[in-house]
A = this chain, B = another copy of it.
């Protein structure tokens, strides 16, 4: 009864020193089967519930944070004070629709940044994030 992608996810978890527990495998299944997803703890909880998988909200938060920490997810903060998690961990940018809170990925190469200002004093640039807000 163990599907192919389930085994992939078990390996993925092991590679990141995360025990492949039932709930982590289920969440990996929801997150990593589609190519690029944007979820919050609540949207993910709704999906989990829709599949009838029993899981506490604390586990969803813990798992999102763990996946983030090991680099399987990327965290984004937008207007509403809710954490979004993006399964696309490549460097990229976003369209954001403030009406629906929808996010759409933009590959890093699709936006050309010319003439970035110097970082202050001894600091360096870690990353440049562009959000194109839609009307």
Residues of A within 8 A of B (CB): 75, 77-79, 81-83, 95, 97-98, 104, 106, 110-117, 119-120, 123-135
Whether A119 lies near B131 (C-beta < 8 A) is no
Whether B77 lies near A104 (C-beta < 8 A) is no
5 further contact pairs, Cβ within 8 A, besides A95-B117, A127-B133, A128-B133: A77-B78, A97-B123, A113-B114, A124-B135, A126-B133
The 6 closest A-B pairs by CB, nearest first: A112-B114, A126-B135, A81-B81, A112-B115, A123-B134, A127-B133
The residue in chain B whose Cβ has the minimal distance to the Cβ of A78 is: B77
Whether A129 lies near B125 (C-beta < 8 A) is no
Whether B116 lies near A113 (C-beta < 8 A) is no
